[in-house]
Amino acid sequence: MSEFKSGFVAICGRPNVGKSTLLNRIIGQKIAIISDKPQTTRNNILGVYHKEDMQIVFVDTPGIHRPFTKLGETMMKSADSAMRDADVVLFLVEPTAQPGKIELKIMEDLKKTDIPVFLVINKIVTIKKDLLLPVIAAYQSHFDFASVFMISAKQDDGVTLLLEELAGLIPEGPMFFPEDAVTDQPERQLVAELVREKLLHLLDKEIPHGIAIEVFSMKEKDKLYDIEVNIYCEKQSHKGIVIGKGGSVLKEAGTLAREDMEKMLDKKVLLKLWVKVKDDWRNREAALRNFGYTAE
């Protein structure tokens, strides 16, 4: 009888390379919100991949960037912690000709560990195949990767091969989560993130980065969930933009979020959204803790 295997795999990279899309693809359902805005993921998000004799806990980390707020600093600490504690690191990049400054810094940081690192080139459908080999060579000139994969997480191309190779590096270990668990996020956090995702899609420029979500009431009744949510923005001038003309933005965000919540919770949802102002919350440690943005 074979021994059970378990381990942690950190997914790292700059913002918007497809880390959350890859996590959702591997787990087989949506547990991490997706947006074309940078710095969408603010906390480490765990996704649990199950096989009969193995459990892999994938950690979707915040996109590596130069922080300008205490929130940004917390995000970078979370990402660094996940990479240091992993059994394997997936370094996700886009197929650009040369590594950028952020990629070079990530590789320098990873050289300080002895953790196996896979180079995972995502979005390969955006480049001609004959241009991929120079991309691989450019990255390999800076780092000795355990393996290299070319994938399209969005189109599920190459992900199965990636999982098969990962399985060979996962050590023997205990089952960390129950067989039916797919994430460590509580329902309230998932609900909050769905609201934030819709606002990320509907709002432009810098306003989405200054939004925090608080689910202050979530009551399960026989046939529905009654959910009340506070949406915090940093400036009074942003409040009207978040609400929209005649409440249009808030109404659309609520409708889209409610539809996703009903799929996730498998019940009807009565959703109420309120918009409030909390000045400069991204630089206030008490506010960060209140909104659940902490790092070890």
Question: Do 94 and 159 reside in the same domain of the chain?
Answer: yes
> Which of 72, 281, 51, 272 has the alpha carbon at shortest distance from 170?
51
Question: Do 32 and 111 reside in the same domain of the chain?
Answer: yes
Question: Do 100 and 225 reside in the same domain of the chain?
Answer: no
- pLDDT, residue 91, reads 95
Question: Do 123 and 64 reside in the same domain of the chain?
Answer: yes
CATH number of the domain where residue 247 is located: 3.30.300.20
CATH number of the domain where residue 80 is located: 3.40.50.300
Question: Under a CB-based contact definition with an 8 Å cutoff, are residues 15 and 30 in contact?
Answer: no
Examine residue 254 and state whether it is found in any structural domain, yes or no: yes
Q: How far out from the chain centre does Cα 153 lie?
A: 14
Question: Under a CB-based contact definition with an 8 Å cutoff, are residues 55 and 102 in contact?
Answer: no
- pLDDT, residue 295, reads 57
Question: Do 32 and 87 reside in the same domain of the chain?
Answer: yes
Examine residue 175 and state whether it is found in any structural domain, yes or no: no
- pLDDT, residue 83, reads 78
- pLDDT, residue 111, reads 92
What are the beta bridge partners of residue 6? Answer: 55
Question: Do 155 and 199 reside in the same domain of the chain?
Answer: no
Q: How many domains does the chain have?
A: 2
Q: What is the spatial distance between Cα 176 and Cα 158, in angstroms, rounded to a whole number?
A: 27
pLDDT tens digits, residue range 100-119? Answer: 999 999 999 899 889 999 99
Question: Do 45 and 102 reside in the same domain of the chain?
Answer: yes
Question: Do 48 and 152 reside in the same domain of the chain?
Answer: yes
Examine residue 215 and state whether it is found in any structural domain, yes or no: yes
Which of 104, 136, 167 finishes a domain?
A: 167
Examine residue 296 and state whether it is found in any structural domain, yes or no: no
Q: Which domain holds residue 30?
A: 5-167
Residues (pLDDT < 50) of the chain are 1
Question: Do 144 and 199 reside in the same domain of the chain?
Answer: no
What are the beta bridge partners of residue 277? Answer: 233
pLDDT tens digits, residue range 175-221? Answer: 999 988 998 888 898 999 999 999 988 987 656 678 899 999 999 98
Examine residue 63 and state whether it is found in any structural domain, yes or no: yes
Which of 106, 137, 167 finishes a domain?
A: 167
Question: Do 33 and 135 reside in the same domain of the chain?
Answer: yes
Q: Give me the half-sphere count of Cα atoms (radius 13 Å) on the Cβ side of residue 203.
A: 26
DSSP string, 156-209: TBSHHHHHHHHHTTPPB----S-TT--BS--HHHHHHHHHHHHHHHH--TTGGG
Examine residue 178 and state whether it is found in any structural domain, yes or no: no
- pLDDT, residue 37, reads 63
- pLDDT, residue 16, reads 86
Long-range Cβ pairs for the range 288-295 (8 Å, 24+): 288/70, 288/71, 288/74, 290/214, 291/212, 291/213, 291/214, 291/232, 292/43, 292/189, 293/42, 293/43, 293/71, 293/74, 293/75, 294/74, 295/74, 295/75, 295/77, 295/78, 295/81
Q: What is the spatial distance between Cα 34 and Cα 65, in angstroms, rounded to a whole number?
A: 17
- pLDDT, residue 256, reads 96
Question: Do 62 and 120 reside in the same domain of the chain?
Answer: yes
Question: Do 57 and 23 reside in the same domain of the chain?
Answer: yes
Distances, alpha carbon 187 to alpha carbons 5, 190, 216, 252, in Å: 28, 5, 13, 22
Examine residue 295 and state whether it is found in any structural domain, yes or no: no
Examine residue 180 and state whether it is found in any structural domain, yes or no: no
Question: Under a CB-based contact definition with an 8 Å cutoff, are residues 23 and 58 in contact?
Answer: yes
Which of 167, 197, 220 finishes a domain?
A: 167
pTM score: 0.83
Q: Which residue has the tokens 């991204």?
A: 282
